[in-house]
Amino acid sequence: MGDLLQLVEARLHSAFGERHSRAAVTFLGTDRIEVLRFVDGDVLRYATLGMSRQPMSDPLATVADPLRGPRAELVLSVRAGLAPVDQVLRPLAVLAASPQVEGVVVAPGASLDVGGPLWTGAPFSAVLVAEPGGLVEDLGLDEPLEPVRFFPVLPMTQNEAAWKRVHGGAALQERWLKYGTDLRDPLRASVPLSD
């Protein structure tokens, strides 16, 4: 699968330019996950590399198919210089390992939670998985492999995550749009959730 990860990394470079740095995290019983950091003006982009190594499989399936199934990587965009956001490397790797560890299939509208702040002082411990294709185009692979999709992940405050569980991810995104929420602001407050 080394070739697959090389293709994934090349697709990230074509979208974001040269990588600024990288870090690797290995969790017991899982494959190594790397997080690549790209600088785009005042925006830092963190992209996982390694989540797509294996397809995600239905946790109810009796046998996991080693070839077929959705493949994904995560991309987080955040404004630089306002908070110690580089601390997000390990939490982002934890989220990327969740299909292997917890047997979840990551898809648009899903919530992923690390159980603690994404970085010191962050008002966020969870992210909303957004639709792929906007920042990084899907990476098509030879049959029977499904394409690798690059999911933007949008940090949610605890109140937003609770509201999303009741109303859904699309409704939360509409509320963010309605109030002009800067989702890249690492210090932003929760969007108004009642009106």
Name the packing angle between helices 169-178 and 158-167 (round to 10°).
120
Tokens of 86: 């580089």
| pLDDT above 70 for 146 | yes
Q: What is the pLDDT of residue 100?
A: 83
| Mean local confidence (pLDDT), 90-110 | 89
**Is 42 within a domain?**
yes
Burial class (CB in 10 A: 0-12, 13-18, 19+), 113: middle
**Is 85 within a domain?**
yes
Q: What is the pLDDT of residue 134?
A: 87
Q: What is the pLDDT of residue 140?
A: 92
pLDDT band at 22 (very low <50, low <70, confident <90, very high): confident
- Which of the given ranges, 16-20, 40-44, 80-84, has the highest pLDDT on average? 40-44
**Is 187 within a domain?**
no
Q: What is the pLDDT of residue 21?
A: 85
Structure letter (DSSP) for residue 33: E
CA distances 96 to 28, 39, 48, 103, 143, Å, are: 14, 21, 7, 11, 24
**Is 124 within a domain?**
yes
179-195 core/surface letters (b: 16 or more CB in 10 A; e: else): eebebbebebebbeeee
Q: What is the pLDDT of residue 36?
A: 95
Q: What is the pLDDT of residue 175?
A: 96
| pLDDT above 60 for 2 | no
**Predicted structure pTM score:** 0.92
Q: Is 39 helix (H, G, I), strand (E, B) or coil?
A: strand
pLDDT digits (tens, 9 = 90+) for 8-18: 999 999 999 88
**Is 193 within a domain?**
no
Q: What is the pLDDT of residue 64?
A: 66
Mean pLDDT of the chain: 89
| Mean local confidence (pLDDT), 37-66 | 84
**Is 95 within a domain?**
yes
| Mean local confidence (pLDDT), 100-121 | 89
Count: domains in the chain: 1
| Mean local confidence (pLDDT), 20-29 | 80
Q: What is the pLDDT of residue 138?
A: 94
Range of the domain at 22: 2-178
Q: What is the pLDDT of residue 28?
A: 72
Percentage of the chain lying above the pLDDT 70 cut: 94
**Is 47 within a domain?**
yes
| pLDDT above 90 for 62 | no
